[in-house]
Amino acid sequence: MSAFTAFRNTPFREKTAWVMALILVAGAVFYFYMVVSVTRALGQTAPPLIGFAIVYVVVIVIASVVLMTVLAVTSPRESNAPADEREQIIGNKAGKWSGYVMVVPALGGLWHYAVSGDGHMLFHLVFLSLMLGQIAEYVFQIILYRRGM
Amino acid sequence: MAKPPPITNRIRELREQHGGMSQSALAEAIGVTRQTVIAIELGKYSPSLESAFRIARVFDLGIEDVFGWQA
């Protein structure tokens, strides 16, 4: 079975989790590539890249709306159906676990700030924690859909 | 692989006995997705008490005739 066929046969909600996880990973890689590049060029931690953060959010929103629309058009019945009891439990569990993932870089940023006073790094680590939290939520959903609970 | 819950079921067998009822038809009858019926049959998900009763009613049986407890 080709990857395309396998993806086409994947249940709708798992498919949306895959799409969102991939979009968010691509966005995070783009953003942190820019942060590392600027940091190297300056020889110190890059200041908050507000412009890139805005571009990141706008691109993520547009990409997710476009791809979700495509998925909804290809599976109209599933996309209109409300989440059933199993899907709700999966969403709740994934949301709870992703909260733990989000805390790690945020605490790391606070600790680093307390030690070094580097507010720029604190900004990047808090932004990273938000990204990782979202990515982790979709990854946990995929794991729970595939592995069972 | 997650440890399967200790709840067994005869859903696949009962579907076959009821004229080869499809997983989609059962899913629609109890108000869940086909994937959830598949997960229940495979023992990957234990349904809520409400869904368990709904499944039993579809087959016109008591809940203990459909589900069992594997100690």
Whether A82 has a pLDDT exceeding 80, the answer reads yes
Provide, as residue numbers in chain A, all residues whose Cβ is less than 8 Å from the Cβ of B36: 84-87
pLDDT at B4 (0 to 100):
67
Establish if B49 belongs to a structural domain.
yes
Q: Which amino acid is at A3?
A: A
pLDDT at B63 (0 to 100):
96
Residue range(s) defining the domain that contains residue A124 = 3-147
Establish if B53 belongs to a structural domain.
yes
Q: Running DSSP on this structure, what letter comes out for residue B67?
A: E
CB contact under 8 A, B32 and A81: no
Q: Taking the model in full, what pTM does it have?
A: 0.86
Report residue B2's pLDDT band, with 50, 70 and 90 as the boundaries: low
CB contact under 8 A, A85 and B47: yes
Q: Rounded CA gap, B22 and A12, in Å?
A: 19
Residue range(s) defining the domain that contains residue B19 = 12-61
- Name the least confident of A5-19, A83-97, A107-121, B23-37: A5-19
Of the candidates A44, A6, A45, A10, the one whose C-alpha atom is nearest the C-alpha of residue A142 is A10
Establish if B7 belongs to a structural domain.
no
Q: Residues of chain B whose C-beta is under 8 A from some C-beta in A?
A: 1-2, 4, 31-33, 35-36, 39, 42, 44-45, 47-48, 51
Establish if B50 belongs to a structural domain.
yes
Question: Is the CB of residue B35 less than 8 Å from the CB of residue A12?
Answer: no
Establish if B23 belongs to a structural domain.
yes
Question: Is the CB of residue A49 less than 8 Å from the CB of residue A38?
Answer: yes
Q: Rounded CA gap, A45 and A53, in Å?
A: 16
- CATH number, domain containing residue B50: 1.10.260.40
pLDDT at A132 (0 to 100):
95
Closest residue in chain B to residue A14, using alpha carbons only: B35
Q: Indicate the length of chain A as a whole number.
A: 149
Report residue B1's pLDDT band, with 50, 70 and 90 as the boundaries: low
| Domain count across chain B | 1
- Count of beta carbons in the 10 Å neighbourhood of residue A81: 15
Q: Rounded CA gap, A38 and A70, in Å?
A: 36
Whether A5 has a pLDDT exceeding 90, the answer reads no
Establish if B6 belongs to a structural domain.
no
For A26-62, write each residue's pLDDT tens digit.
Answer: 989 988 899 999 999 999 999 998 888 898 889 999 9
Establish if B52 belongs to a structural domain.
yes
pLDDT at A6 (0 to 100):
74
How many pairs of residues across A and B have Cβ atoms under 8 Å apart? 36
pLDDT at A1 (0 to 100):
62
Whether A97 has a pLDDT exceeding 90, the answer reads yes
Establish if B17 belongs to a structural domain.
yes
CB contact under 8 A, A11 and B42: no
| Domain count across chain A | 1
pLDDT at A81 (0 to 100):
83
Question: Is the CB of residue A93 less than 8 Å from the CB of residue A149?
Answer: yes
Average per-residue pLDDT for chain B = 92
DSSP letters of A96-113? HHHHHHHHHHHHHHHHHH
What mean pLDDT is predicted for residues A101-110?
Answer: 94
ipTM of the complex: 0.84
